[in-house]
Amino acid sequence: MKTWEQRKFSELFFKSKLKNNSLFSSDKIISVATMTWKKPDASRSSDDYMKTYNIAKMGDIVFEGHTTKEFANGRFVENTLGDGIVSHIFDVYSPVMKLDLFYWKYFIHNERSIGPLLKRSTTNARMMSNLVERDVLKQFLPVPSSIEQSSIGHILHLIDNLIAANEYNLKNALNIRGRLNLHLLT
């Protein structure tokens, strides 16, 4: 096992300047908060306004500046859905090189790993943080080897899938119990 390296953010990501320019329609709008596709009818943006949207490719990270108890200075969310568009209020950063999708999905969204970096790279506005590009690009991150990234990422993805499967099974069990209770009462 190799020692993790300290890598400059700018060695890993660059700020994307790609605008929509009618490449994507409203069915490819990504909700950054939930990392899901927005329903086409949920957005009533005109075609001209959608040209202001930023393109977020698979593997890009998007900065969401909304502050919460969990994310004091905003947060990064990795695009794991596919190529799409996000509102122009979000900053999009693209990887300089191929990075492990699963590893970065969890690492970049973890307050303990990214919180200090964001604290040094954001300015606070009302209920929202703004990412200062020149500051974030100077920050350092601990980065494992690509083999370790792959191993860690796949383990975390497997754990997520197991949790989701158990939540689904629990929901079904509660549904069955509810139907049995209803049956017993009638």
> What pLDDT digit, counting tens, does each position of 85-107 carry?
999 999 999 999 999 999 999 99
Query: The tokens 């949790």 sit on which residue?
Result: 163
Q: How far is CA 67 from CA 60, 71, 93, 115, in A?
A: 21, 6, 19, 11
* pTM across the whole model: 0.84
Backbone angles phi, psi at 19, to 5 degrees: -105, 160
Q: What is the spatial distance between Cα 60 and Cα 76, in angstroms, rounded to a whole number?
A: 10
Strand 122-125 to 61-64 pairing: unpaired
Taking the C-alpha atoms of residue 179 and residue 182, their distance in angstroms, rounded to an integer, is 5
34 near 62, Cβ under 8 Å?
no
Q: If pLDDT is split at 50, 70 and 90, which confidence band does 53 have?
A: very high
Domain ranges, ordered by start, for the chain: 5-185
Cα–Cα distance measured from residue 180 to residue 177, given in angstroms and rounded to the nearest whole number: 5
All residues at 6 or more sequence positions from 165 whose CB lies less than 8 Å from its CB, including other chains: none
Class of domain 5-185: alpha beta
For 111-163, the pLDDT digits (tens) are 999 999 999 999 987 778 899 999 999 999 999 999 999 999 999 999 988 88
Placement of tokens 């494992």 in the chain: 144
H-run or E-run covering 31 = strand 30-31
Do 143 and 5 meet the contact criterion of CB atoms below 8 Å apart? yes
